Structure 1
Amino acid sequence: MRSIAAALAATLLSACGHPLAGSGLAHPLGEASSDAAVVFVSSECTGTLIARDAVLTAAHCVEERRPWSVWVGGRERVAVTRCAVHPLAYDRPTPCGAGPAGSGTRPAHDLAVLRLERPVTAARPLPVLLAPPSLSPAWWHARTVRLVGWHRRPALVGALERLSGPNQIVAHEGATFVTAPASPGGPRTRIGDSGGPALLQHGGAEAVVGVLFGGLSRGSPESVYAATDAPLNASWLVRTLGGDFGRDLGFASADAPWGLSQRSRSRIGSNGVTASPRSR
């Protein structure tokens, strides 16, 4: 597999988020659709509904300011009341809206969770994959994932176009993986897709396995994701959602897509904190 370090040596096309403006979006979707849970965070960022009142997005999407509201299912606008940023997203712990810290965002931990003022009804939350620590990078190689997001076409700034298409994981190292279109000319990420999910079909359901950090420039069709199954990311998600947000969560493991497997449960205490898993 090609080294992720080599891939990251290229410039990354990653955009910061801004508050949502406007009064409505195209493409309303039914609650049962996985795509309905892909949230419009701003004109430059996407997120994923992972609980009825919580959205997973990228830390760099909230580094300038916390979004005032998000659109769910293309039709329901909900206010954002709280925001949590992964403590390792920057060189030092940085709250929402405090601006980039140090050398900028770390791709491996570019994660943030937005709390909504109320549970939403326009979409069903998607589970987040917390893979057992026995899975190796080789298990991920060439896996097909579906990238979904709202993005802007450069020729028509402000016009919405939905990204939804298959990509393959071409490298997976630690807490980061790289995807590329599964076929020549296939869908690729653009500005507006930052913070959006990579979805893995497993056991008859789709689960979030990564959050988009950015796309590689210089003509490459590849995109870089923070992996949700990485120990430091998985434990932060469980701690943040379980402790602060609490209800209607949908975590998945590789052997139990719509709920925590016994193996995963054994690593999660009653306070929602995941014990440090073995190195994978």
Structure 2
Amino acid sequence: MALVARRVRCSGESLTLLCSGTLIAPDVVLTAAHCLDVFGPEGAYEVFFGARLPSETHTEGRFVRVARAVRHPDYERETHAHDVALLRLAVAVEVPSPRLPGPGEDVLTPGGAARVVGFGDTRDANALPGVRRQGGLRVTEVRPDAFLAGPDPAMSCVGDSGGPVLVRDAEGGEVLAGVTVSGDFACQKEAVNLRVDAVRDSFLQPFLDERPEPPGRGLALDALCTQACTRDADCPAGLACAETSDASRRCFLPALQPGDYGAPCAEDAQCGAGGVCARLEPEGDDSCRCFTPCAEPVSEPPSEPPSEPSKGEDLPRGCMGAPGPGALAPGAVAAWLYLRRGPLPRARRATGRCRASSCAG
């Protein structure tokens, strides 16, 4: 599957491919920790199940919202040590999952064949990312927590990070042996893959055994401006509970200030002048609703006229420090997170591969 930045609009918003991943339980996806470096574990994500990301000519496949993301506690960004993360999906999906290595099962040997799968770049400049591709690798070195592989004849590349590396067991079935994490810049010589068996008992299994968070108060979509929340479970599906600029906690959608959600819609034009048709969930009859921002609090007039802001000084932005007071432009999630965390990593195109310190693409 593909990991993408969560879409907030119901029309006119392009997809941002981040990484690849593997479904290891009906509601759990395994990916690389560095895939969360830009937006953070608290960022807004979706996963896509299908052969290629949707476009004007291809609409097959399914998006599912990520409810929770967790990186390995010992993850090191510079060295890619413990470069693994788990995603809890908002709903379970019925998609076949590869088998995890069993206790004491050793499926990796130098010289052994492997299969890599991902949605990333290829060495063909005319072949765009966003298409699920697979190819053969040859294991060259096995380490306690990782293994290296060379082309046979394929090679993982930018955007394949977090995707599966599978090998055959003694009975001929496939086992999820690794997670793609890094490799040489040109996608031609070497791929570095995290060993799944090295983190199975300490990281994967405890997450798989977790029970879902109990439901909260179930605040109403059309009254969120007047109702405070204490945790995400209090909020309607698709919204998060976070602190606003006035120190209160409200349910809101990433890249939008706090507000209420009204009538179902399909596009912004159905929500009035300057309205936004916001996407609360990736799918469903009521997944898109018209958004109305909360009214600005009325304050006492200042005793002295305020001075004009100096050049470069930020102007007030409304209820919270996110770009845009209400209307949402295409790519607003990326813009909002750019202001919070810095620019997205530059994905190398065509024949290049991500550097060892930045593989998300």
TM-score strictly above 0.5: yes
Distance 2:16 2:29 in 1: 13
Q: CA deviation at 1:64?
A: 1.7
Q: Which has the higher strand share?
A: 1
Which of residues 38, 49, 53 is equivalent to 2:23? 49
Distance 1:163 1:219, change over 3 A: closer
The question of 1:210 aligning with 2:178 is answered yes
Amino acid at match of 1:195: G
Residues 53, 181 of structure 1: CA spacing in aligned structure 2 closer, same or farther, 3 A cutoff? same
Confirm whether residue 125 of structure 1 aligns to residue 113 of structure 2: no
1:150 lines up with 2:119 in the alignment: yes
Shift in CA distance, 160/219, structure 1 to aligned 2, threshold 3 Å: closer
Partner of 2:144: 174
**Pairing 1:72–2:55 present:** no
Is the alpha carbon distance of 1:115 and 1:216 closer, same or farther for their aligned partners in structure 2, counting shifts above 3 Å? Answer: same
Q: Is the 8 A contact 1:59 1:105 kept in 2?
A: no
Q: In structure 2, do the counterparts of structure 1 residues 157 and 187 end up closer, same or farther at CA, with 3 Å as the change threshold?
A: closer
Which amino acid letter does the alignment assign opposite residue 127 of structure 1? R
User: Relative to structure 1, is the Cα distance of residues 177 and 244 closer, same or farther in structure 2, using a 3 angstrom cutoff?
Assistant: farther
Moved more, 186-195 or 217-226: 217-226
Letter in 2 for 1:224: V
Unaligned segments of structure 1, at least 5 residues = 1-16, 24-40, 91-103, 246-280
Q: What is the number of residues matched between the two proteins?
A: 192
Which residue is equivalent to 1:237?
204
Structure 2: runs of 5+ lacking an equivalent:
52-60, 213-361
* Alpha-carbon contact 1:148-1:163 (below 8 Å) kept: yes
Show the counterpart of 1:62.
36
CA contact (8 A) 1:42 1:192 kept: no
Residue 107 (structure 1) shift = 2.7
Q: 1:166 to 1:218 in 2, by over 3 A?
A: closer
| Equivalent-residue separation in structure 2 for 1:78 and 1:224 (angstroms) | 28
Secondary structure of 1:236 counterpart: helix
1:190 is aligned to 157
Identical amino acids, percent of aligned pairs: 29
User: Contact 2:4 / 2:48 at 8 angstroms: preserved in 1?
Assistant: no
The one of 136, 142, 167 equivalent to 1:200 is 167
Aligned residue for 1:155, secondary structure, equals coil
SS of aligned partner of 2:208: helix
Distance 1:131 1:171, change over 3 A: farther
Question: Contact 1:130–1:228 at 8 Å: present in 2 too?
Answer: no
* RMSD (Å), alpha carbons: 2.9
TM-score (norm 2): 0.48
Is the alpha carbon distance of 1:159 and 1:210 closer, same or farther for their aligned partners in structure 2, counting shifts above 3 Å? Answer: closer
Aligned to 1:266: none
Question: For 1:96-125, what per-residue CA distance to the aligned partner results, in whole angstroms no more than 9, with x for missing partners?
Answer: xxxxxxxx244341000001111113x212
SS at match of 2:189: coil
Partner of 2:216: none
Separation (CA, whole Å) in 2 of partners of 1:47 and 1:199: 12
Q: What is the Cα deviation at residue 239 of structure 1? A: 1.3
Cα offset for 1:220?
A: 4.4
SS in 2 for 1:240: helix
Residue identity matched to 1:119: A
1:214 alignment partner AA: S
CA spacing shift, 1:105–1:51, aligned 2, 3 Å: farther
Counterpart of 1:163 in structure 2 is 133
Determine whether 1:140 maps to 2:109. Answer: yes
**Aligned equivalents of 1:106, 1:238: Cα separation in 2:** 24
How far apart in 1 are the matches of 2:28 and 2:159? 20
Moved more, 153-162 or 169-178: 153-162
SS in 1 for 2:168: strand
